[in-house]
């Protein structure tokens, strides 16, 4: 049986204006994850993702670096109540 779970990832640093959301969506889709990514007013990025623990762990590890132009200074990962998304979107 495949167990799915939902997490949130708060990414801080130089993560806006560097295509972080677009690259996150591509990575999430390649991992078969659903959810969303969006910019926050404080300059950070918020990700909500649903998938298997293995694929979520891979996304978390990717988020620590992000795309080439990003400079991640920290991430906060939290378990969330399960959300059944249909795809992975960029929220504006």
- CA distances to 33, 58, 92 from 54, rounded to whole Å, are 11, 6, 28
DSSP 12-79: EEE-SSSSHHHHHHHHHHHTT-EEEEEE-TTS-EEEEEEE-HHHHHHHHHHHTT-STT-EEEEEEEEE
pLDDT given at position 2: 87
Domain extent listing, the chain = 5-85
Look-up: residue for tokens 């007013």? 41
Tell me what pLDDT residue 1 has. Answer: 86
Show which residues are catalytic: 21, 39
Tell me the average pLDDT across 21-32.
98
Query: What is the CATH class of 5-85?
Result: alpha beta
Q: Could you give the percent of the chain with pLDDT greater than 90?
A: 97
């Amino acid at each position: 049986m495949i167990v799915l779970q939902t997490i949130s990832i708060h990414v801080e640093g130089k993560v806006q204006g560097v295509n972080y959301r677009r690259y996150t969506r591509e990575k999430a889709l390649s991992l078969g994850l659903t959810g969303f990514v969006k910019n926050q007013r404080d300059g950070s990025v918020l990700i909500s993702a649903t998938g298997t623990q293995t694929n979520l762990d891979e996304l978390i590890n990717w988020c620590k670096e992000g795309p080439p132009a990003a400079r991640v200074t920290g991430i906060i990962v939290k378990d969330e109540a399960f959300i059944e998304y249909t795809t992975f979107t960029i929220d504006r």
